[in-house]
Structure formats: C-alpha cells, structure tokens
C-alpha cells in the first residue's frame, strides 16, 4: 500500500488526458481531511516551477501543515510565468472545494514537459473524480499517476516498532544533485515534532536523493514531502530518523535502476580529498563526464578518464598519492597503471553494478555518488521529448 500504509492516509490516481494513455494525476489526502504536520525539501534550481514556489509559500504561511497533495504528470507547469502560478492556485482551489478543506492546507506538484501551459480543463474536471476514488487501496494508482518516462512505479514501506512509514516516488531522467530530479511523497503515522521531520527529511535527502546523478540536469520541480498523521502516537526519534533514511535510500535505488537508457550503475566513492566538499565536487565531475559514462556502458575500466575528470574538477589532488580501484581491485596508483587481476576485473565490469574508488591523495575527505552509464537508450529517450 506504500503511501497509504501508514494509518490516516488515502490516495488515488487516474488517467485524465494530459498524457495519451498512462495515468497522469494522483492525490494523497488525510483520511479525516484534517491537516497534519508536513515538511518538504524543494529543488535548488533558481528556475523553479510555479508549483514549487507556491508550495514553499504555502508551508511558510501555514506553519507547515497539509491535508492533501494534488499531483499531475506529463506537464511540469514550469517556464509558464504568472499564468502558471495562477494555474497552480486553481489546482489548489479545485482540490480544496472537492475535499471541503481550506485551500491553505493543499499542496500541488507537477512533473513533465517544461515551457508548455497546463491543460487545465482535464485537470480541473478530474479532481472530483480523484476525490471519489480516494482509499487506502489507492496507493498504487497514485504511484502510477506521478510517473513520467519511468518504466515502473516506485513504492516503499518501512515498518517501525511502533509506527509505519510509506512512500512513493518518480524519477528516471534529468537527475542530478541537488536534488535528484524527482517527486517523492512519504507518510507516517508516528507522532513526531515537525522540527524532527524536517531534519530527518533533509538529512535523508542529502544521503540518498542527493547522491544520485543520472545526467547532471537539476530539475525545476524537485520536491520531497513528509506528512505525519500521528495516529499511532510517540515513537523513538532515532528509529524514526533511520526509517526515513531507509525509505529514501530504497526509493533512490529504484530510481537509479529505472534511469533512462540505463544498463549499468556505478557506485562511486571519492576518498583522500582535502575536504568532504571537495570530494563531492570531484565525484560530481566524474559521474557527469560523458567519456566516463560511455566507458561504463562498455564495461571498460578506463581509469584514466576517472582521473582526468577528477583532475579537472578544481580540487586538491596529489597524483603521487592517488589510486583508482574497480570492485576493490587497484588498477592505478601514483598516476600510472599497475599490475592487477584482469580476469577478476573484467568479471566485475560486466555486472549490472560497478563499485569504484578514486583516491585523490590530498587528505581525509570522502563522498559517495551513484552514477549511470550513457548509451543509445538515453539518447533515444531524450531526443524526442518536446
């Protein structure tokens, strides 16, 4: 039941006609229509879409509460100016009217094509239908309704000792910190302070969503939300924080495995950096490098491309102390190739997931990032999107 696994939440999804065939709208609501604590992490893209701007303003104004979230896919309502902001407000108003709740307790999210006005007639006419379909069993339909080029729904349930946390997400392309391009919605029946919710969601996003880099593109619409009904009472704060982290990690891996055109995933660790921040900069430079990504597609342990990408990142590096390893097999040290087990290396490189370490030899900083290979599938998917 994912996003409705926690007590107090219902959901629905349907096809409204924004897209040709697939589900393209979803709704999450509290079962009793009462507002509950809600926290969110939004895109850091300065070209943020109107739904993001409205969401930020709404949560700031109402102290961080929500009773419903309306989502459409197929159109991001981004690059649409004042008219787009008004359309986001109309989506809020339609939801508030259909649910008989205050507009100030409604949030909206959009995802899809940038720069095209929302088709408001099908959206507004289908809001009442979404409300009628709301149920605990509607979670999977909701998870389908938020997808764009995803191949499958992404859902998770984490069972705590005294609470449940469920969630759903979308995202498989235009993914780069910060955040990984995506929409994610988490719900829990734990009674936790909103300050803890915000801290837990931000920390989990940094450790999971913000480590995923498919193509270096940061979306205009990135949003992760966490709502808490409090239906099952107080819980252990550390256990709750760990549950949020586990849910976000699970959804991150589902997004990585569903990345556009993906055939191989790279788990990159940069070590030996002067600082953790420099390690993150180097890691981002490596996983976004097209030559590196092409070598992953071909299963080629081309360590020189890794070092070249790190060396051009503008961070401290001591080549003499550096090393590169694939699957724990050191293939280069001090900036030159060294003898290694070629058979074991080839076997590792042919797997669906590759582990890589690049040691910069400049300190004790480190960072992890998930990268995706670059092959014909990604180009085909993104060459005809508008």
Closest CA to 5 of 225, 232, 167: 167
Domain boundary among 257, 273, 301: 257
Query: Side by side, which strands form the sheet with 25-30?
Result: 9-14, 25-30, 68-75, 106-113
Same domain, 286 and 240: no
Question: Where does a domain end: 257, 277, 295?
Answer: 257
Question: Can you give the CATH number for the domain in which 35 is found?
Answer: 3.60.70.12
Instruction: Compute CA distances 165 → 179, 202, 215, 281, whole Å.
Output: 21, 16, 30, 33
Q: How many residues in total does the chain contain?
A: 386
What is the pLDDT, as a whole number, of residue 260? 63
Distance (Å, whole) CA 290 – CA 373: 9
- Mark whether 55 and 202 lie in a shared domain: yes
CA separation (Å) from 66 to 35, 37, 96, 203? 5, 7, 11, 21
Distance between CA atoms of 254 and 353, rounded to whole angstroms? 13
Contacts of 111 (CB under 8 A, 6+ apart): 71, 72, 73, 74, 76, 146, 148, 170, 183, 219, 221
Task: Say if residue 313 is in the same domain as residue 220.
Answer: no
Domain count, the chain: 2
Question: Out of 39, 58, 149, 181, which one is annotated catalytic?
Answer: 181
Q: What pLDDT score was predicted for residue 256?
A: 82
> Which pLDDT belongs to residue 208?
87
278 and 347 assigned to the same domain: yes
Q: Do 232 and 370 share a domain, yes or no?
A: no
* Residues 203 and 307 grouped into a single domain: no
Of the three residues 257, 278, 312, the one that is the final residue of a domain is 257
Domain harbouring 333, CATH code: 3.10.20.340
Q: Are residues 223 and 160 in the same domain?
A: yes
How do residues 312-334 score in pLDDT, each as one tens digit?
A: 999 999 999 999 999 999 999 99
Residue 181 annotated among the catalytic residues of the structure: yes
- Looking at the fold, whether 220 and 79 belong to one and the same domain comes out as yes
CA-CA distance, 123 to 139, in Å (whole number)?
19
Do 14 and 156 belong together in one domain?
Answer: yes
Q: CA 291, CA 377: separation in Å to the nearest integer? A: 16
Please enumerate in sequence order all residues whose Cβ is within 8 A of that of 59, keeping only pairs 6 or more positions apart, or say none: 38, 39, 40, 65, 66, 107
Give per-residue pLDDT as tens, 225-277.
999 999 999 999 999 999 999 999 999 889 888 876 678 889 999 999 999 99
Place of tokens 């060294």: 338
| Phi (first) and psi of residue 163, to 5 degrees | -155, 165
Q: Which residues of the chain have pLDDT under 70?
A: 172-181, 213-219, 260-261, 377-386
Angle (CA) 129 135 141, round 5°: 70
Sheet of 65-66, strands arranged across: 65-66, 36-42, 223-228, 183-188, 164-170, 154-159
Predicted TM-score (pTM) of the model is 0.82
Main-chain phi, psi angles of 43, to 5 degrees:
-55, 150
Residues 316, 360 contacting (CB under 8 angstroms)? yes
Residue 213 contacts by C-beta under 8 Å, 6 or more apart in sequence?
Answer: 175, 176, 177, 180, 284, 287, 288, 369, 370, 371, 372
Q: If you compute the radius of gyration of the chain from its CA atoms, what whole number of angstroms results?
A: 22
Regarding whether 270 and 252 lie in a shared domain, the answer is no
DSSP line for 154-221: EEEEEE-SS-EEEEEEE-SSS--SSS-S-EEEEEE--B--HHHHHHHHHHHHHHTGGGEESSSPPPSS
* 178 plus 277 within the same structural domain: no
For residue 288, give its domain range.
Answer: 265-382
Phi/psi for 218 (5° steps) reads -95, 125
**43, 79 contact by CB (below 8 A):** no
Domain co-membership, 207 together with 345: no
Q: Which of 150, 321, 165 is nearest to 248 (CA)?
A: 165
Q: Which residues of 139-165 are buried (b: 16+ CB within 10 A; e: fewer)?
A: bbbbbbbbbbbbeebbbbbbebeebbb
């Amino acid at each position: 039941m994912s996003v409705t696994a926690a007590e107090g939440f219902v959901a629905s999804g349907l096809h409204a006609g924004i897209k040709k065939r697939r589900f393209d709208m979803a709704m999450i609501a509290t079962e009793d229509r009462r507002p509950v604590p809600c926290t969110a992490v939004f895109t850091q893209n300065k070209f943020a879409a109107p739904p993001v701007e409205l969401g930020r303003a709404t949560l700031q104004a109402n102290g961080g509460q929500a009773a419903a979230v309306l989502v459409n896919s197929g159109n991001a309502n981004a690059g649409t100016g004042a008219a787009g902001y008004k359309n986001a407000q109309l989506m809020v108003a339609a939801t508030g009217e259909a649910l008989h709740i205050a507009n100030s307790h409604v949030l909206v999210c959009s995802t899809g094509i940038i720069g095209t006005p929302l088709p408001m007639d099908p959206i507004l006419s289908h809001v009442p239908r979404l409300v009628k379909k709301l149920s605990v069993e509607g979670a999977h339909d909701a998870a389908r309704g938020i997808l764009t080029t995803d191949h499958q729904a992404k859902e998770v349930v984490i069972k705590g000792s005294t609470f449940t946390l469920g969630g759903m997400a979308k995202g498989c392309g235009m993914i780069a910190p910060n955040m990984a391009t995506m929409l994610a919605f988490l719900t829990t029946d734990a009674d936790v302070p909103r300050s803890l919710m915000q801290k837990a969601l931000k920390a989990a996003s940094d450790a999971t969503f913000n480590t995923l880099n498919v193509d270096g593109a940061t979306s205009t619409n990135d949003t992760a939300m966490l709502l808490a009904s409090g239906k099952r009472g107080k819980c252990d704060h550390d256990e709750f924080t760990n549950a949020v982290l586990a849910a976000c990690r699970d959804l991150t891996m589902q997004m990585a495995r569903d990345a556009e055109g993906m055939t191989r995933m790279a788990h990159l660790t940069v070590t030996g950096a002067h600082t953790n921040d420099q390690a993150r900069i180097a890691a981002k430079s490596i996983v976004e490098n097209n030559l590196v990504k092409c070598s992953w597609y071909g299963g080629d342990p081309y360590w020189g491309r890794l070092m070249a990408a790190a060396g051009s990142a503008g961070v401290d590096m001591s080549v003499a102390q550096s090393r590169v390893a694939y699957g724990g097999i050191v293939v280069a040290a001090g900036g030159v190739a060294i003898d290694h087990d070629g058979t074991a290396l080839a076997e590792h490189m042919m797997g669906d997931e590759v582990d890589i370490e690049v040691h910069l030899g400049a300190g004790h900083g480190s960072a992890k990032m998930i990268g995706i290979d670059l092959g014909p599938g990604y180009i085909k998917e993104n060459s005809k999107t508008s």
